[in-house]
Every structure is written in C-alpha cells, then in structure tokens.
Structure 1
C-alpha cells in the first residue's frame, strides 16, 4: 500500500512541477490563431512550422501576438533558410509596418544573433561577443530564449547566455511580441515550439 501511495504522490509532484513552469504555446502548429499580420510579406504554416518568407514587395513584415506581454520567459526554435534576417520583438507596437520596440536579433552568422536592437530609436543597445556568436547553428534548428522582467532582458542561444541588459526605457515599454521579416527580399525563416511563461 505504501508503495502505491508513494507512486501516486510522486506523479502528483512531477505534474505540479510541470504546471508550475506555466508555459503555454503561442503557436499551435496548425494556423496563425492568436497572431496578426502586418505588411505584405508571407506568413504561413507548413509541416507544423511557422514560416516567414519575403513577398513580392520585399519590404519589412511583422507577425505580432494579439495579446500584450510585459514580464515573461519566451522560448522558441528557429531555422535560417535563404538570407534568414529576422528577429523577435518584445513590448512592441506596430503602425502599418513601422514598429516601436526592442528586437532580439535572429540572423546569419556574424550578424549578432541574440543581441538587442531598438528600432526607430537608439539602434544597437548590446551585441554578443564574436566568440559567443559561435553558438549559432547556421544550417539546423536553434533554440532561443528571452527573459524579460522589469527593466532587465537576458537572452540565450542554444543554452548559452548571449547578453544581459538593464535599461529604463525597456522597463517602461508596453506591447506585444512580434516576429520580423527584414526588407530586401530573399528571406526565409522557419519557427516552431514558440511558448511563453508569464511572470509577475
């Protein structure tokens, strides 16, 4: 009897621990439910992946969450195809295809993946070191992670911390999470396993 009680309590403990993580999917693997498209670039689902691809206009494009997120841990997987110049925006607002917010870079080797860029503002706020950038897999899947709490942002790439930034302007920011297609054409990036855990 004690053996069975131990098994039951162990299962309950493991289940509670999993739920305590508080992660929920932002991308359901089927369609773009919960997201808004900005611009004329292509956003679609293929083989369970969220794909962003340059359209005929070769302009900036964004896919933003319908909901705003303030403090959170965001995890995602991405695979660079073609040029691969993209990014993940935090606390962002979009008017047409003009975005205000902070981008965690996703780009080909040597282009500061994991660094933080402020659009229509101060530009690059912090970049990873060239040595840390070697964590990027240019041909396969990569795991990105962003933790945003108050005025602090930390990013990771494939388990390696890339940057940490404390910034009062980010701390005051409000808005959604958004994925980007850079302008110029010839860009294609795949995304999957996009999930978020909201924090107090």
Structure 2
C-alpha cells in the first residue's frame, strides 16, 4: 500500500510538470514528455548513493541514516554526509520539496564531486555549490542563510517556512547562470562569473541532499536535463577543461531563448 501511494503521488506531480510519461531516465525512471525525470521513485533509494555516515546506533540496533518512509526520503540526522543522486548533470533544472525539524541544518548540493569523508574539499559547498537549508525563518539573510550559496552569496530574501512546514524549491543552472526559486520567490539569480570566489566553479557535477545532524524529509524530487548529449567531469577543472566548459556554457546561453521551459 505504501508503494502504491508513493507511485500515485509521483504520478500526480509528473502530470503537473510533464504530462504523460513516455521515456526512460538514467536509472530506468519514467521520463515525462517535457523531459522531467523523477530522481526518487517513492519507495526505495534506487539511483542514490549514501556518502559519509551511513548508519547509527539506536541502543543496540544499527539503523540507516537515510531511509524511505511514506513516500519520503528521510534523513535521521545522525553524523554527517550526503545522499547523492548517481548521475552527473551540466545544465539542468531540479525541483524538490522538503520539511525540516526544529534547528535543522541541511542543504542541496549541485555540480559537485563525489564526497570523500577523508577529503574535506570534496564537500559540495567547496567542490561545487551547496544551497543551504536552515531553520532560520524570519531572520535577515546572509551567506549562511537558507538558500544562500553557502559561504559565497546571500539570498535576495529569506523565504523559508518554519520547521514542520513543507517548502518547495526549483533550481535552474544554465552555463554560469544560477537561479533558485523558493516557495514561489526568486532568492538567487546570479552569473557566477561576477563573483571572484566562485567564477571558476565547475559547470557540471552531481546533486545531493545533506545530512548535517538534523532530521529532514524530502519528496517529489525531479530533474530536467537541459544539456543535449554533453557530459563533463564535476571535478575542479584544469585550464583545458575549463575552456571546454566555458565553450559549452556559451553555447547553452546562446540557445537559452530557444530552449523549452
């Protein structure tokens, strides 16, 4: 019954985004007419990789930090790490919904490397970007606020809802342009080349959600690949790779007006 309910919920959201499903995604997911792919199938973590803390002790019982319950991805909030979707993207849109606990600290990694706990610079906030999730509703925004490009760029406004309420976020990455919409409000709209400390950040990589010691739930995770048959490594780019990325970004930006929304 839980699996059926999850699939029904996913089908409803897919109808809103993309119409009748017709194609297959990188992990066998249903792909919609509009190109939207459900990254989460609603009943297990197929297609995802746990990085960092994977289990914790509850008394004498070993339990997973990441699990699925009632059609949601749940992070128990023990230890530190990420749940990474195992498919690299360059230009894309990513939609998801989340509900956090009181004092929760989490985030959404984009265009990042695979995380290695022994290498701090592989964290999404360093190797790519982390879009911060934090229980800070009503507070003035800064570079550590919800929807900041963590440690680099503050959001235009703090549009996060209080702990216990569902939020939705839509992230669009095209070339060097990044836009983040939270609960219907544009909170980031930047060109990374205008910021010295992020202008050479990778234009391709993985997306993930973070375990930073706080209980949080995610659901309705969809992405749309805006990159036509083009893949680059998400690792920090050398001069040649950066040139190829910039060339691809320029082509993507030039064709932006012709691309489907």
Partners of 1:170 and 1:138 in 2: CA distance: 34
- Name the structure 2 match of 1:176: 206
Partners of 2:86 and 2:174 in 1: CA distance: 20
CA shift digits 1:56-101 (9 cap, x unpaired) = xx3x211111110111110000001143211111111134233221
Q: Does 1:194 align with 2:221?
A: yes
- Name the structure 2 match of 1:86: 106
Partners of 1:95 and 1:157 in 2: CA distance: 26
Partners of 1:96 and 1:128 in 2: CA distance: 28
Instruction: State the superposition RMSD in angstroms.
Output: 2.2
User: Tell me, what secondary structure is at the counterpart of 2:155?
Assistant: coil
Partners of 2:159 and 2:113 in 1: CA distance: 31
Partners of 2:35 and 2:222 in 1: CA distance: 10
- Name the structure 2 match of 1:120: none
> TM (normalized to structure 2)?
0.61
Partners of 2:51 and 2:164 in 1: CA distance: 28
- Name the structure 2 match of 1:113: 146
In terms of fraction of residues, the more strand-rich structure is 1
CA shift digits 1:143-196 (9 cap, x unpaired) = 0110000011110110100011211446633311111112xx3x1000000000
Preserved CA contact (<8 Å) 1:126 1:165: no
Partners of 1:177 and 1:170 in 2: CA distance: 18
Query: Unaligned 5+ residue runs, structure 1?
Result: 1-13, 118-123
- Name the structure 1 match of 2:131: 104
User: Tell me, what secondary structure is at the counterpart of 2:94?
Assistant: strand
> TM (normalized to structure 1)?
0.78
Higher relative contact order (CA 8 A, sep 6+): 1
Q: Does 1:29 align with 2:42?
A: yes
Aligned length: 172
The structure-2 alpha-carbon separation of the partners of 1:113 and 1:95, relative to structure 1 and needing over 3 Å to count, comes to: closer
- Name the structure 2 match of 1:164: 189
1:15: Cα distance to partner?
A: 5.6
- Name the structure 2 match of 1:72: 92
Q: Does 1:40 align with 2:53?
A: yes
Partners of 1:142 and 1:150 in 2: CA distance: 26
Query: Unaligned 5+ residue runs, structure 2?
Result: 1-18, 22-30, 55-64, 194-198, 228-261
User: Tell me, what secondary structure is at the counterpart of 2:158?
Assistant: helix
